[in-house]
Structure 1
Amino acid sequence: MDIILGVGTLLIVLLAMTLFLNFAPYGKKGLQALSGAACATFLPQAFLSYAIGGVFDIKFLQEIGDLAGSLSGVAVGFLTCLKLGVSPVFAVIVGLVLHDFKLLPAFLAAYIISFAIKFIEKKVPEGLDLITVILFAPAVAFLLASIMSPGVIALLHQIGSAVTAVGDNNPYVLATILGLIIPVTGMTPLSSMVLTSLLGLTGLPMAIGALTCTGSSFVNFIMFRQLKIGNASKAFAVAIEPLTQIDIIAKYPLQLYGTNAIIGVVNACIVTFSGLVINVTGMATPIAGAIVLFGFNEPIRAVVTIVTVAIVSILLSLVIGKTLNKFNMTRLNFNLPRVKKHAN
């Protein structure tokens, strides 16, 4: 039952984010803001507070990192408004009042209020629009976040608990599920970092998310070179951050998503066997995730696991890439037939 509940709720979250991406107004820009806010807050916290401050016991860096991590509501409020075309001053006004809210409730409040602010900017004369926004936007944004926050946080906590319960009872089943989903999600605007942040994954699930993304960097680099996708700089860029090459990746969905899913499962099982943990959420990212491991695990065990994941990712990518080339499957794709448009 835990497996069904855990997998089902995880798929529901992915489906909801996919529907938002494809059908919500400015859905892609909204998710880019959500991902950007996670990077701007959780990554500094991970590097400064855990990877450096925690390992070397530097209190100053720990305080800075924790401060950055506590400002996700401000960051997502500001970036969401900016991405949706709101004036920077108005975006700051909204972001500041979302200081005490978590990432998703703050995002939803900022997303909704942005449309109202854009309407005010269009209809209210310049100069007067500032006063109108000050009197209207902060209160409404705060109210929206306050109303949504309890339900959203409870739902996400329930989903995270269900996923974790699967790992407690069937660790390799959870490894298979996360290995399939997280590396592929990291190559879409949904962002694996945002997904793991929203679900609040920590411990072994977060270590799986981090190192499957690290492995994905090696996979994508090798596959770009094997399939002759772009030049060397493109291959290097996709290894550092796959979202920078998302348009190219979308042209090779079967080859790249499929390869990452297969190798992701293998890497997830390796991490599960190693017993590594990351006790901070949102670290499903290629470089930072691997570095943060050292803040929570024995260095030798972390190094051995990272090297193993890298070697396995490279070898399996070479095998799959050569197989695709041998059977002339480099450009293979399944496209739905398009309806022909008839002239009137």
Structure 2
Amino acid sequence: MEILMGIAALLAALCLFSLFSFKAPNGSAAMSGLADAAIATFLVEAIHKYVMGNLFGIGYLAEFGNMVGGMGGIAAATLVMLRMGIQPVYAIVTGLAMANLGILEGFIVGYLFSFFVPLFKKYLPEGVDVIVGVLTLAPLARLLGIFISPALEMLMGTLANMITEATLLSPLAMGFMLGGLIKMVCTSPLSSMALTAMLGLTGLPMGIAAMACVGGSFTNGYIFHKLKLGKSSNTISVMLEPLTQAHIVTRNPVPIFMSNFIGGAFAGTIAAYFGIVNDAPGSAAPIPGLLASIAFNAPQTLFMATVAAAFAGLLGGVIGHQIYKRVLAERIPLQQFANG
């Protein structure tokens, strides 16, 4: 039951963010802003605090990474509003009001206030609109952020605890499911960094998510190469950062996502077997996932797990390619772009 609840919690979170991204007004732009915020804060924190600071003992970078990691709310509100076309001054003042609040609070406040800001320009004279706007937005944004914070923390904490408990009860089963699902998110227009950051995943679940993204890179590389999806530069790019090839992925979802689930599931199972842990939330991406994991695992263990995850991801690509080639190719032909 714990395992089923953990999987259900993850699927519920994925469905929620997918529906928002594709159905909400400007949902895709807002999710892109959220992904940018995760990169700007949690990626910097993961590398500088945990690797350069805690692992290599550079105190300045540890302090710097810790400081940046605490600015998720500021970054999310600012970048979401900028992605939605709001003037920078409004985005900045709303973002600053999110100091010491989480990335999800900043995301929600930034999204909602993006619909509120145009009213200042519509109903107030030029110049006055900016003064009244910034003086009004800041306290209102802060008030809303503080109001919704307890409920969001409880909700995200509950989801994270359910996933963590299920993973600890049955590491291999959850490694398979969690790894497969997270790698699909990693390759989709959604952001696995943002998802794992909002859930606050740490420990073994975050280790599984990170290594699934690392191993799944080889899945993407193989499937792009065998199906000739673009040029060699596209293949290299999708291995390093899948979101750079979203235009190809979204046109060919069946072979790519199917292969990604298989490769990510295999890599996640490998991570669970080796007991890979990662206490840097939001590092679920190929390069950050590997670098952040260095700080929390024995070098020999991480090396063996990484090599095994790479082979597992490659195997997932082979299996996915064969399934598509033998069963689905005639029914679901590939879609290409003239520029690759």
TM-score of the alignment, normalized to the shorter chain, above 0.5:
yes
1:148 aligns with 2:148: yes
| 1:164-187 Cα deviation digits (max 9, x unpaired) | 110121112211220221000112
| Residue 272 of structure 1: how far off its partner (Å) | 0.8
Once residues 53 and 20 of structure 1 are traced to their aligned partners in structure 2, the CA distance between those partners, rounded to angstroms, is 37
- Find the residue that maps to 1:190 and give its secondary structure: coil
CA change 1:235–1:332 in 2 (3 A) is: farther
| Residue 122 of structure 1: how far off its partner (Å) | 3.0
| 1:243-279 Cα deviation digits (max 9, x unpaired) | 1111211122111100110121111111111011111
1:11 aligns with 2:15: no
- Could you tell me which amino acid in structure 1 is paired with residue 192 of structure 2? S
Aligned residue number for residue 110 of structure 1: 110
Kept after mapping to 2: 8 A contact 1:283/1:289: yes
Once residues 167 and 320 of structure 2 are traced to their aligned partners in structure 1, the CA distance between those partners, rounded to angstroms, is 29
Aligned residues, how many?
Answer: 334
- Could you tell me which amino acid in structure 2 is paired with residue 186 of structure 1? C
Q: Which runs of 5 or more residues in structure 1 are unaligned?
A: 335-344
| 1:121-145 Cα deviation digits (max 9, x unpaired) | 2332210111111221111111111
Aligned residue number for residue 194 of structure 2: 194
Structural mapping, 1:221-300, within 5 Å? 221-300=221-300
Kept after mapping to 2: 8 A contact 1:183/1:260: yes
Kept after mapping to 1: 8 A contact 2:207/2:277: yes
CA RMSD of aligned residues (A): 1.7
TM-score normalised to structure 1 length:
0.93
Once residues 303 and 4 of structure 2 are traced to their aligned partners in structure 1, the CA distance between those partners, rounded to angstroms, is 34
- Could you tell me which amino acid in structure 2 is paired with residue 179 of structure 1? G
Aligned residue number for residue 37 of structure 2: 37
- Find the residue that maps to 1:77 and give its secondary structure: helix
CA change 1:323–1:15 in 2 (3 A) is: closer
Structural mapping, 1:310-329, within 5 Å? 310-321=310-321, 324-325=324-325, 327=326, 329=328
- Find the residue that maps to 1:65 and give its secondary structure: helix
1:78 aligns with 2:78: yes
| Residue 331 of structure 1: how far off its partner (Å) | 6.3
Identical amino acids, percent of aligned pairs = 34
Aligned residue number for residue 332 of structure 2: 333
1:47 aligns with 2:71: no
- Find the residue that maps to 2:279 and give its secondary structure: coil
Aligned residue number for residue 337 of structure 1: none
Once residues 229 and 296 of structure 1 are traced to their aligned partners in structure 2, the CA distance between those partners, rounded to angstroms, is 36
CA change 1:331–1:129 in 2 (3 A) is: farther
Aligned residue number for residue 180 of structure 1: 180
CA change 1:242–1:2 in 2 (3 A) is: same
Kept after mapping to 2: 8 A contact 1:222/1:314: yes
| Residue 22 of structure 1: how far off its partner (Å) | 1.6
- Could you tell me which amino acid in structure 2 is paired with residue 110 of structure 1? G
| 1:96-127 Cα deviation digits (max 9, x unpaired) | 11111101011101111111112212332210
CA change 1:8–1:329 in 2 (3 A) is: closer
Aligned residue number for residue 217 of structure 1: 217
| Residue 329 of structure 1: how far off its partner (Å) | 4.2
Kept after mapping to 2: 8 A contact 1:254/1:332: no
| 1:74-100 Cα deviation digits (max 9, x unpaired) | 111110111111111111111111111
Aligned residue number for residue 99 of structure 2: 99
Aligned residue number for residue 307 of structure 1: 307
